[in-house]
Structure 1
Amino acid sequence: MSALVRVQHVSKRYRQQGEALHDISFELHPGQVLGLLGHNGAGKSTLINALLGVHDYQGTIRINGFEPMTQRDKIMQSLSYISDVNVLPDWMTVAQLLSYTEGVHPRFNRGKADTMLLQTDIKPRSRIRSLSKGMKVQLHLAIVIATDTQILILDEPTLGLDLIYRDTFYRQLLEWFQDGKRAMIITSHEVAEIEPLLTDVLILKQGRSVLQTSMQDVNNDYFILETTNEQQAQHIEAMSPLSSQKGLGTTKWLLASQYAEHITGLGNVQRATLADLFLALQKETM
């Protein structure tokens, strides 16, 4: 099956800030959900803007076979983007926005959007400016789902939303995504929140990839060892732990699975989460 998104050796250098991305490569196929992670300034927004055709870059990007900068009109037929900043025209009513989208997007299904919005508190006559942030995100998602997009980029989509809106957003998203014909890229500082959604992860630091793997490999390749005996520290440190975290009378060590056979009797073994790995890699000195 051909890739919906293909990124090959992509870099980006700004005149004043210097290099923002360095030699990033990945492919995204139908059914994959890529978690794009990194602290502020890691290069996430720069990579997303390159995918959207907002700025130039070095390397190769293809979205459904099209190049973002020169064929942006083509990629926007199959790609949608939702960010943490409201980009909907707030002077319109909800009904006006749906009518406008129906007029300009050949694949927009007005009936599907109306059906989805009936499950919310959003009223057709409401001005978009009067909607809460959670409602605006719901409205944006309804439009995306009704256009039957193939590739969805979510950039901190639930930032500032309460738990109810976040739960509703991800539930609706998964219902739409489950047919396996689409691909998603999600950025979020709430790593634990998005971990169950992901099939793959790309962690950036200072514009470079520090981890690029499947979630299955994350689960298989790392584990947490919790110990209570400080005298064991020297022995464990010889295993090159990615991180250590002291608690009340215990220490948690993040270790590679190659050391699993060496830790018998040293403590309790726990599953390493993506958040554990993300924090460890961000603290490492490059």
Structure 2
Amino acid sequence: MENLVEVSRLSKAFNNHKAIADISFTLSSGQVLGLLGHNGAGKSTLINTLLGTLHYDGDVSLLGLAPEKHRSKVMEKVAYISDVNSLPCWMTIKQIINYMKGVHPQFDADKAKSYLSNTELKLRMKIAQLSKGMKVQLHLALVMATDVQVLILDEPTLGLDLIYRETFYRDITLWVQQSHRSVIIASHEVSEIEHLLTDVLVLKSGKVVLQGSLDSIYAQYTSICIPQENREKAEQYSPIYIKEEKEHTLMLFNDVSSEALLELGQVLKTRLSDLFLAKQLGFTA
């Protein structure tokens, strides 16, 4: 299957400080990549190189084009939504739909109106009067109506209530399943987006500390609830992460057979949030 995104040995430095270093990954149709990391880990720098706004070292291709050299062409098929509101507040929803129809060759006004028909948004409403959740709904409807193939989301639900977040992620899931599309989501809400992801890329200080499909990652790591009486035995298997809970201890193991751990406690499904903390806090062996 043809890759929509190809990144090879990507690096970017600012004043001799490497913001990201030697990052490589590919994305094809149907893949949803979680781009995770603490503040300053390099997520925004990576996103900006994909959008063609930064010069970089290495190779980046979106839909077969280098974004830095062919940014206008790339942006016909790539869309970006961040937590920063960039919609013109003086327009009404009807006006911005008409504006999009004039400036974007792939925009389908009827499709945008169809998406909005499932919300509380009305064409006569002024953007300035919308809540943040409504603005995100509008932004997503405009993006989905452009028939882009790659959608990049940077903390898209920051500050939204639970209902708006659930609606947003439901719409994204349906959108990516409908055609030849892929999504990159940068977020601090690891537990919230885990169910959406097919792949993950975790950055720490600009370097990759965890990468792969979620299926392969879940197969590699094992989580187990250890009663206190078995703690010393479990520690002999060199857990990479230890979390103290009320009546037991949660331990995370890398490449240790779950059969070997069964006699020590209850084996659980590994949570991406625990893996993220293990990689960020430096408990990994």
| TM-score after normalising by structure 2 | 0.96
Match of 1:41 in 2: 40
Match of 2:75 in 1: 76
Match of 2:175 in 1: 176
Q: In the aligned structure 1, how far is the partner of 2:134 from the partner of 2:261?
A: 50
Measure how far apart 1:264 and its partner are.
3.1
Match of 1:12 in 2: 12
For 1:120-151, what per-residue CA distance to the aligned partner results, in whole angstroms no more than 9, with x for missing partners?
Answer: 11121222111100000000010111101100
Match of 1:266 in 2: 264
* Runs of 4+ deviating beyond 6 Å: none
Q: In the aligned structure 2, how far is the partner of 1:28 from the partner of 1:253?
A: 32
One-letter amino acid of the structure 2 residue matched with residue 21 of structure 1? I
**Does the CA-based 8 Å contact 2:222-2:256 persist in structure 1?**
no
Match of 2:25 in 1: 26
One-letter amino acid of the structure 1 residue matched with residue 46 of structure 2? L
* Structure 1 SS opposite 2:148: coil
The equivalences for 1:98-247 within 5 A come to 98-230=97-229, 232-247=230-245
Q: In the aligned structure 1, how far is the partner of 2:28 from the partner of 2:174?
A: 19
One-letter amino acid of the structure 2 residue matched with residue 249 of structure 1? E
**Does the CA-based 8 Å contact 1:225-1:269 persist in structure 2?**
yes
One-letter amino acid of the structure 2 residue matched with residue 256 of structure 1? N
Measure how far apart 1:256 and its partner are.
2.1
Q: Which moved more, 1:169-178 or 1:202-211?
A: 169-178
**Does the CA-based 8 Å contact 1:79-1:152 persist in structure 2?**
yes
**Does the CA-based 8 Å contact 2:241-2:283 persist in structure 1?**
no
Measure how far apart 1:257 and its partner are.
4.0
Q: 1:285 to 1:21 in 2, by over 3 A?
A: farther
Q: In the aligned structure 2, how far is the partner of 1:176 from the partner of 1:285?
A: 37
Structure 2: runs of 5+ lacking an equivalent: none
Match of 1:60 in 2: 59
One-letter amino acid of the structure 1 residue matched with residue 4 of structure 2? L
* Structure 1 SS opposite 2:251: strand
| TM-score after normalising by structure 1 | 0.96
Measure how far apart 1:262 and its partner are.
2.0
One-letter amino acid of the structure 2 residue matched with residue 136 of structure 1? K
Measure how far apart 1:239 and its partner are.
1.6
One-letter amino acid of the structure 2 residue matched with residue 269 of structure 1? V
* Structure 1 SS opposite 2:3: coil
Measure how far apart 1:12 and its partner are.
0.7
**Does the CA-based 8 Å contact 2:199-2:213 persist in structure 1?**
yes
For 1:81-111, what per-residue CA distance to the aligned partner results, in whole angstroms no more than 9, with x for missing partners?
Answer: 0001111111111111100100011111100
**Does the CA-based 8 Å contact 1:218-1:274 persist in structure 2?**
no
Structure 1: runs of 5+ lacking an equivalent: none
Q: CA RMSD in A?
A: 1.4
* Structure 2 SS opposite 1:86: coil
Q: In the aligned structure 2, how far is the partner of 1:240 from the partner of 1:12?
A: 35
**Does the CA-based 8 Å contact 1:32-1:200 persist in structure 2?**
yes
Q: 1:260 to 1:285 in 2, by over 3 A?
A: closer
> How many residues of Structure 1 are paired with residues of Structure 2 in the alignment?
284
Match of 2:247 in 1: 249
Q: In the aligned structure 1, how far is the partner of 2:15 from the partner of 2:58?
A: 18
One-letter amino acid of the structure 1 residue matched with residue 211 of structure 2? Q
**Does the CA-based 8 Å contact 2:226-2:234 persist in structure 1?**
no
* Structure 2 SS opposite 1:134: helix
1:276 aligns to 2:274 (yes or no): yes
Q: In the aligned structure 1, how far is the partner of 2:68 from the partner of 2:74?
A: 10
Q: In the aligned structure 2, how far is the partner of 1:249 from the partner of 1:196?
A: 27
Match of 1:95 in 2: 94
Q: In the aligned structure 2, how far is the partner of 1:266 from the partner of 1:276?
A: 20
